Each structure stands twice: as C-alpha cells, then as structure tokens.
C-alpha cells in the first residue's frame, strides 16, 4: 500500500481568512480611514493599483483590498 504524503492545511486553524493576503501574510491595518485611503492613493500613484478601503469586522481597523467592479 502506498503511503500518502502529508499535506499542509490550506487555512491555519483559528485564523480569519479575510484578514490575510493570498500569500498568507497578514494584511496591513490602519487606525483610521484617512490613513488607509492615503496608502491606497500611494499604491495608485506608484503602481496603478486601484484599491478600496474597508473596516474589518474582525479587528475593527481599516484595510485595503482590490475594488470589485460590475462591468
């Protein structure tokens, strides 16, 4: 009988998936909406990335994320 290779869990136990990036790193948290919007504006200026800011239900701070479009 073949032995199965152990696999890593896709999500760490006890973590909130929306609180981490696709790479598994924690998202940057900002204390105020204006701090998050300033960081989003900087991302647009430097890289042309259109990011939206939102208040996190988990940590009650502000994060940035890609903007959803209804095209």
8 found inside a domain: no
Backbone phi and psi for residue 47, each to the nearest 5 degrees, phi listed first: -125, -5
3 found inside a domain: no
pLDDT in tens, the chain (71 residues): 667 666 554 544 456 666 788 788 888 999 999 999 999 999 999 999 899 999 988 889 999 988 665 54
4 found inside a domain: no
**Enclosing domain of residue 44:** 24-66
Neighbours of 12 (CB within 10 A): 11
59 found inside a domain: yes
54 found inside a domain: yes
Q: Which pLDDT score, from 0 to 100, does residue 36 have? A: 96
58 found inside a domain: yes
1 found inside a domain: no
Domain count across the chain = 1
61 found inside a domain: yes
Provide the CA 65 distance to its chain's centre, in angstroms.
6
């Amino acid at each position: 009988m073949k032995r199965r290779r152990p696999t890593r869990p896709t999500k760490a136990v006890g973590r909130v998936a929306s609180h981490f990036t696709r790479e598994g790193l924690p998202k940057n948290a900002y204390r105020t909406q204006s701090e998050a919007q300033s960081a989003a504006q900087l991302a647009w200026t430097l890289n042309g990335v259109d990011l939206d800011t939102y208040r996190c239900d988990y940590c009650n701070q502000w994060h940035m994320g890609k903007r959803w479009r209804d095209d």
